Amino acid sequence: MSCALTKKSYFSENKSKNVYPNSNKIDQKVSSNWEEIESQMHGWFPINEQDLPLKLPYLDKYAPSGTGEPPLSQAKDWAHTTCPNCGGSARRETDTMPNWAGSSWYYLAFAMDPVPSSKYKVSGKERGFNLETWNLKLKTTGKSYLPVDWYIGGAEHAVLHLLYARFWTKILFDLGYINFKEPFLKLRSVGIVIAEDHRKMSKSYGNVVKPDSVIEEYGCDTLRVYEMFMAPFDQEITWSTDALQGSYRFIKRVWHIYNDSAKIDKDGQEIDKNVVTELQKTIAKITSDITDVKFNTCVSSMMQFLNVWEAGGAISKSDAKKFLQVLAPFAPFISDYLWREILGESISIHVSEWPKADNSSLKSTTVQIPVQVDGKLRDVLEIVSDISEDEFIGKAIKSDKVARWLQNEYEIKYIPGRILNFVNK
């Protein structure tokens, strides 16, 4: 009779029923794969600790065998070995663990200190990865980097990767290997981009949008801006080549305005205070929205500022730098180029300090309020912030741009400080 070798996990050695969590969400089939336990005449035996780590053999061919056996079973010389229990002939288990068994704790590996390998060796042999060696690698760096502050991933990770990551974390905490119970403090799931035919992108459907082809035609910055502008971070959205054009036009407008000598003060030009105020609002909003993962509204606010700047006058060179700095995470290449070539900076924009909004300039005594007639924009009125509602409506009615569209009877809909709409009856 032959014996079979495997590595027993903590769960197989601890017979208590309380080892497994009460949640029925954990797939028992995958849990059994972790343990690699099957019924054999002589049983299964763990590899001796001094023989760890067990190194896998090199395979010339690792395609599926077609027989149901895993690719590793093709390494006959490696698979047949000696039983550590009885010394007889034995066969190694060739069914490998599922990928979730490794990926569900990789965040711990990222935080491990690269301790010299000599500390793991006894008489020239590598020691097993026990509590002593774990502490050597993780004790110092783990306190600095763990638990993970923010995990960003697809929704498909929720049931497998994230669930098992919590499972492993709680087991390691109970064993005294780590000092925290939750692996991730904050979680955000990213939405997916589906194809223009409203199906998931797939090679079999032939509907995959290749980034390289988009970049070749429109540039990398256009692709980045469009992906962040197309929808809220966590929502599914359909790819649209037509909508991509809007981001492309935005990038070209940025290029043109920085090459327009009338828009950046170089010879004592008069500064447009309204444009500067709008810039400060933009900096404040982007600073807040990046933290909240509202990338689409960040791009929207930059487009809005560009509209104001194009319609207004010049801003200082210092303020021109600030706009490029908030644009840089979204369009890194054009931002860095204009930063160096147009504004004359010697170091990359990506190592510059993030601009801070000037709160004093945000406290404007005037506001601009759009006025609509039947839902269509007819005028934008600049008024003092403490004007009464009746006074503002009266001013709007007297506007030539508004009055020409009003009929004898109309309904007034006003959101104070935001928008005024006249609806003809």
pLDDT of residue 267: 64
With vertex at residue 21, the alpha carbon angle to CA 105 and CA 106, rounded to the nearest 5 degrees, is 0
What would the two tokens of residue 329 be? 């995470």
What would the two tokens of residue 345 be? 């900076």
pLDDT of residue 129: 53
pLDDT of residue 84: 76
pLDDT of residue 135: 67
pLDDT of residue 14: 41
pLDDT of residue 133: 62
Q: Which helix (H) or strand (E) holds 222?
A: helix 220-229
Which of 33-47, 166-180, 250-264, 280-294 bottoms out in mean pLDDT, i.e. has the lowest? 33-47
pLDDT band at 52 (very low <50, low <70, confident <90, very high): confident
Tens digit of each residue's pLDDT (9 = 90 or more) over 332-378 = 999 999 999 999 999 999 999 999 988 766 665 678 889 999 988 99
Amino acid occupying residue 93: E
pLDDT of residue 26: 47
Tokens 């459907």, located at residue = 205
pLDDT of residue 172: 85
pLDDT band at 221 (very low <50, low <70, confident <90, very high): very high
Model confidence at 81: pLDDT above 50: yes
Common-topology check for domains 211-360 and 365-424 = no
8-state DSSP, 133: H
Which of 2-11, 18-27, 58-67, 220-229 bottoms out in mean pLDDT, i.e. has the lowest? 2-11
With vertex at residue 413, the alpha carbon angle to CA 412 and CA 415, rounded to the nearest 5 degrees, is 140
Which 3 state secondary structure label does DSSP give 107? Answer: helix
Model confidence at 236: pLDDT above 70: yes
Q: How far apart are CA 332 and CA 130, in angstroms?
A: 45
Model confidence at 43: pLDDT above 90: no
Model confidence at 243: pLDDT above 70: yes
Q: Which class for 258: exposed (0-12), middle (13-18), buried (19 or more C-beta within 10 A)? A: buried
Q: Is the dihedral of CA 102, 106, 112, 114 positive or negative?
A: positive
- Is 250 within 8 Å of 309 (Cβ atoms)? no
Model confidence at 222: pLDDT above 90: yes
Higher pLDDT, 170 or 92: 170
What CATH fold (topology level) applies to the domain 365-424?
A: Ubiquitin-like (UB roll) (3.10.20)
Amino acid occupying residue 336: D
Q: How far apart are CA 254 and CA 250, in angstroms?
A: 6
CATH number 2.40.37.10 given to 211-360? no
Tens digit of each residue's pLDDT (9 = 90 or more) over 7-16 = 333 333 443 4
Q: Where are the domains of the chain?
A: 3-97, 102-190, 211-360, 365-424
Q: Above pLDDT 90, what percent of the chain?
A: 32
pLDDT of residue 23: 46
Which of 105-119, 157-171, 181-195 bottoms out in mean pLDDT, i.e. has the lowest? 105-119
0.75 exceeded by pTM: no
Our separate counts of H helices and E strands in the chain read 17, 14
Q: How far apart are CA 105 and CA 386, in angstroms?
A: 57
For residue 226, give the nearest of 252, 206, 246, 198 by alpha carbon. Answer: 246
Model confidence at 162: pLDDT above 90: no
Concatenated DSSP letters for 129-150?
--HHHHHHHHHHHHHHH-SBS-
122 Cβ neighbours under 8 A, 6+ residues apart: 50
* Length of the chain measured in residues: 425
Mean pLDDT of the chain: 79
pLDDT of residue 106: 80
Which 3 state secondary structure label does DSSP give 84? Answer: coil
pLDDT of residue 371: 92
Model confidence at 171: pLDDT above 50: yes
Model confidence at 31: pLDDT above 80: no
What would the two tokens of residue 319 be? 């303020």
Amino acid occupying residue 243: A
161 Cβ neighbours under 8 A, 6+ residues apart: 100, 103, 104, 153
Which 3 state secondary structure label does DSSP give 22? Answer: coil
